Amino acid sequence: MSIIAEHGHLLLILAATFGFFMAWGVGANDVANAMGTSVGSGALTVKQAIIIAMIFEFAGAYLAGGEVTATIRKGIIDPAVLSDSPELLVYGMMAALLAAGTWLLIASMMGWPVSTTHSIVGSLVGFAAVGISPDAVNWGKVSQIVASWVVSPLLAGVLSFGLFMSVQKLILNSKKPFIKAKKYIPYYMFLVGFMIAMVTLLKGLKHVGIELDLGFGNHFFNALPVAIGIGIVVALLGAQLLKRIKEEPITLYGNRFANVERVFAVLMVFTACAMAFAHGSNDVANAVGPLAAVVSIISSGGEVAAQSALPGWILLLGGGGIVLGLATYGFKVMATIGKKITELTPSRGFAAELGAASTVVVASATGLPISTTHTLVGAVLGVGLARGIGALNLRVISSIFMSWIITLPAGAGLAILFFFTLKGIFG
């Protein structure tokens, strides 16, 4: 207790700095999950992708980022074990942020798309199991999270496979694909608008003090008509944009789907926004969850609370860090996701992004901290498999899987090192 009273301000400044560093790592590495498919398919330039991601990543982090934070902060470590020594939890959370941020910096420099969720969970488990006691870790919760890392790429892969097969059946395999594209793409746009509106209304607006009440009693039914309305507006806006795209004559050796892919490029702007929003809402927790625990302990004078309010400035700091990371160093991992797993066109990229975004939004709404990296890679694999196993670059996929395996022990090892360093410095 005396350590927190004596060094509280310094610990708070360090924790906020480490949290911002970790958020920078989330932006630098995981921006590929939100934007790699758009850039890889040629629908957006790197500069356009970064501008879109800056707006929607920040919006997702600030409006809908609080739900998953609760799982990261309270679920993995049992606060009751540390009630008599809150300073150890402070050191541990700071060590976890610094360890995960360091590993993400290394991975980003190497161009490896690793899981930020893996990084922070590995770091938390490492410091708690070795630095305190194996009893301090909620192994049941950890096993649930690990299971979600298997479920999320499978779910995203299935959704993306299904979406791309629907595109093939309704549009690409028809006699007049360009006309069919203009007919059906507004329906896909409706799905994008509806999905993002639902997660914002159900989980996000309470963080900025807005409560939606249309008199239906149930929160879900209050949100449903508004989300449908927003989906319709997005679809109508998209339909207007599509009218500007004229069918161009195809040369003898040209791609007969060139006109269709131009239409899908417009749709990918919408799915890129959706994926960036979904990513920000889910992955901001990796940076601000441990920071929220530190702030709670220091502001209460050493009390380890099972639940605490999430101050708005923490979400602002997390969102700002993500934006800076993606703007300064996001391009390296973006190339790996967008160009090296399978050849992406706007229609394939759309199916991958919407499948991944749907999976992430469901996870964010239910508070389950999935890995966006696993989800997006699963979605891209699903789209590739729709064209056959030969469409996949198995060498790149195997190196990505290897980097995922390394991430957990790397995060744990660094966290143990930093934990005992901080403990030595502050006593």
| Torsion sign across C-alpha atoms 76, 82, 87, 88 | negative
Q: How far is CA 57 from CA 50, 144, 195, in A?
A: 10, 26, 16
pLDDT score for 365: 65
> pLDDT tens digits for 366-395?
666 677 788 888 998 898 888 777 788 888
Residue with tokens 């809908």: 64
Specify whether the CB–CB gap between 422 and 94 falls below 8 A. yes
Question: DSSP characters for 289-337?
Answer: HHHHHHHHHHHTTS---SS----HHHHHHHHHHHHHHHHHHTHHHHHII
pLDDT score for 81: 77
What end-to-end distance do the CA atoms of the chain give, in Å? 12
How far is it, in rounded angstroms, from Cα 378 to Cα 226?
A: 31
- Which of 421, 425, 411, 424 shows the shortest CA–CA distance to 76? 411
pLDDT score for 141: 79
Backbone Cα Rg of the chain: 22
pLDDT score for 305: 62
- Which of 210, 169, 178 shows the shortest CA–CA distance to 64? 210
Phi-psi category of residue 126: left, alpha or beta, with phi > 0 → left and psi -120 to 50 → alpha: alpha
pLDDT score for 253: 53
Residue 325, Cβ density class (10 Å: 0-12 exposed, 13-18 middle, ≥19 buried): buried
From first to last of its 427 residues, the chain has per-residue pLDDT tens of 577 777 778 999 999 999 999 999 998 988 766 788 888 888 888 888 888 888 888 888 777 766 555 555 557 887 777 777 888 888 999 999 999 999 999 999 888 888 888 898 899 999 999 988 888 888 887 887 777 777 888 888 999 999 999 998 999 888 888 888 888 989 988 988 887 777 667 655 555 555 666 666 666 777 788 889 999 999 998 888 888 878 877 665 556 678 888 888 888 887 788 778 877 776 777 888 888 888 888 887 767 665 556 777 888 898 889 889 988 888 888 878 877 888 888 888 888 888 887 887 777 666 666 777 888 889 988 988 887 777 888 888 888 888 888 888 999 999 999 999 999 988 7
pLDDT score for 125: 92
How far is it, in rounded angstroms, from Cα 388 to Cα 398?
A: 17
pLDDT score for 14: 94
pLDDT score for 150: 78
pLDDT score for 418: 96
